[in-house]
Structure 1
Amino acid sequence: MAQLDDLAFFQRLAQAGSLTATARELGLSLSAVSKRLKQLEARLGVTLASRTTRRLTLTPEGERYLVRGAAILEELAELEEALGAQRAELSGPLKINATFGFGRRHVAPLLSCFCARHPGVESTLELTNFPLTPGEQGVDISIRVGEPPDSRLVARRILANRRILCAAPAYVERMPRLAKPADLAKHPCLVLRENDSDFALWRLTRRGAAGEEQAVKVSGPLASNDGEVIVNLALDGHGIVLRSWWDVHAHLESGALVELLPTWQGVRADFYAVYAQRRHVPLRIRAFIAYLEQEMGRRVPPLPATETARQGVSSP
């Protein structure tokens, strides 16, 4: 039906946020997208959006058409999915957002395997420095550190993770005394500059002492906005790094890096798959999240059960 096509078109238009972006996503000319919006408004007899080629702002009527239209399309998708459940075939678009390092290393390979099993799924993986909220720019699932505060979002933990304080054996052999977190101020620390965060403030918690946390201002002659670069600098013996378990566990196991300050540990930084809370969550979204939960633990070994350090380095 033409009305359903119009609803779907307007959903894409609102998610894209501009006529130009919609034209690019649909593979149409800008004039064709503009013409279709005008035809839709003429049929409804209302103005749905004020627009330029770069930005689209919905009118109150447009907001109502968007919200009610989404509910109608969702009910239709639920009906079709229920009727086709016997085939057990996944299909439809799936847009995922993740950070660059974790997205490249782990989300991308798993998405590749998932789509090979379900060729009917049309997926996009968008990597960004800042996490996108589900619904923003058409994102279905956001892979992020920590649970979001928004109660309208559902968060499923896919990986238990903690930041680890470590350095290469070559640096450990010559490093100054390191007995407590405050001593880090005397060491060259390899800091990650990203997301406008206070990158030079490292937070550590004492093992076995609930709630005891220390924040240490660190510095060093080398820094980067890329986590892989930071780890490589640590492997080359340039100083101390505070990086996630998922990123350094293989180097710790091989001995290329050594965990430091065995009585202290970095704060938790668990990864979650976040999606919008709604009455009907498409099967492809639920299936991919379940796949992440199942497979991520096979790619990254679990944190030690007692979360005790490997043989670290400290002075009495």
Structure 2
Amino acid sequence: MNPFEEMRIFAQVMESGSFTAAADKLGLSKQFVSRKLMALEQRLGVRLLNRSTRRLDVTPLGQRYYEAALRLLNDVEQVEQGISGQTSEPRGTIRLSAPLSFAVAHLGSLLPLFLQRYPGVSVEVDLSDRSVDLLGEGYDLALRIGVLEDSTLIARRIATIERVYCASPTYLAQKGTPARPEDLRSHDCLPYGHSRQVQWRFAGAGKPLTLEVTGRMRANNGDLLRDAAIAGMGITYLPAFILGDALKDGRLIKVLEGFETEPLALSAVYPQHRQSARPVQALVEFLREQMQ
């Protein structure tokens, strides 16, 4: 870790009086804060804090380090504010995590436009359908689709994502076209995810319906499920951006229209300590502008 980051974490612990309170202030996990302070003490070869189940007590060396750290952190902040005041252009590197299928469909065209607009910014992109640990893995920003778990992360809505039930003409000719959600009990489905029990939710007249679906294939990648549906293996339920071309050219046909649930939210999430980072905010605003 950058020594200034270690200083910042230690100073926040001193000011907050506990790992938990400092972690909340910084937008980090308690375990992450504790690990980093232990690493700092090991690097310095001294004990900065005496820990007990009820309180933290600073050692004399810890107090000296805290006072010196505050001076350095204040100096750095003043320098950065002075420099940032000389230019309005964002500068720096963004570590971005994004879902694979979404990134292939959208970011391939959008990120070059963003980098052309902001020549002082660089982007490192990691494509993964898993929900990465932004704090533990060092990401500045992640794009996520769907309901967000409660956390200390800040979330900004970027756009909405429509989802579609669909199957191939060959499959529907063989198995019939479902007229209502309950008909799926006699169909092969292609659910997203690894859980043995996958539930699809449906809207329509009356109260919402939740139905457990089964099939011979499930995956955590939408492109794979789309191709399986095109091959006639069953009915799938996926974001429209994954299905676009296959729906246009007739390889897939929409089913159960009118029963789709509300669109999913595409959100940008980032740690609280990145809230004022100008490259992160520039990318969030750019994506909102381009995808509204």
Question: Do these two structures clear the TM 0.5 threshold for a shared fold by scoring above it?
Answer: yes
- Within-5 A mapping of 1:24-173: 40=44, 46=48, 75-76=77-78, 79-80=81-82, 82-85=84-87, 88-146=88-146, 148-150=148-150, 152-173=152-173
C-alpha distance in 2, partners of 1:147/1:74? 38
C-alpha distance in structure 1 between counterparts of 2:239 and 2:200, whole Å: 13
Tell me the SS of whatever aligns to 2:201: strand
**In angstroms, what is the RMSD of aligned CA positions?**
4.0
Q: Which residue of 1 aligns with 2:202?
A: 204
State the Cα distance separating 1:128 from its structure 2 match.
3.1
Q: Equivalent of 2:224, from 206, 225, 229?
A: 229
Whole-angstrom distance in 2 between the partners of 1:176 and 1:72 = 70
Deviations 1:171-200 (A, max 9, x none): 223323522101101111112334x484x3
| Residue identity (%) | 26
Q: In 2, distance between residues paired with 1:165 and 1:73?
A: 57
For each residue in 1:130-154, what CA deviation from the matched residue of structure 2 results, as whole angstroms up to 9, or x when unmatched?
3235433222212112453547433
Using the alignment, how far apart are the partners of 1:60 and 1:271 within structure 2? Answer: 44
SS at match of 1:264: coil
Residue aligning to 2:182: 182
Task: Say which of 224, 237, 244 aligns to 1:242.
Answer: 237
Q: CA deviation at 1:280?
A: 5.7
What amino acid maps onto 2:276 in structure 1?
Answer: V
Q: Secondary structure of 1:131's partner?
A: coil
Partner amino acid, structure 2, of 1:201:
Q
TM-superposed CA distance for 1:284, in Å, is 0.7
The match for 1:308 is none
Q: Distance in 1 between matches of 2:270 and 2:115?
A: 19
Number of residues of Structure 1 aligned to a counterpart in Structure 2: 256
- 1:56 corresponds to which residue? none
Counterpart of 1:257 in structure 2 is 252
- Decide whether the 8 Å contact of 1:190 with 1:230 is kept in 2: yes
2:4 paired residue among 7, 19, 22: 7
Superposed, 1:263-274 pairs within 5 Å as 263-274=258-269
Contact 1:163 1:268 in 2 (8 A): yes
Asked if structure 2 preserves the Cα contact closer than 8 Å seen for 1:74 and 1:280, the reply is no
CA 1:273–1:74: 2 relative to 1, 3 Å: farther
* Secondary structure of the corresponding residue to residue 157 of structure 1: strand
Q: Which runs of 5+ in 2 are unaligned?
A: 10-22, 51-55
Deviation at residue 261 of structure 1 after TM alignment:
1.4
TM-score by length of 2: 0.70
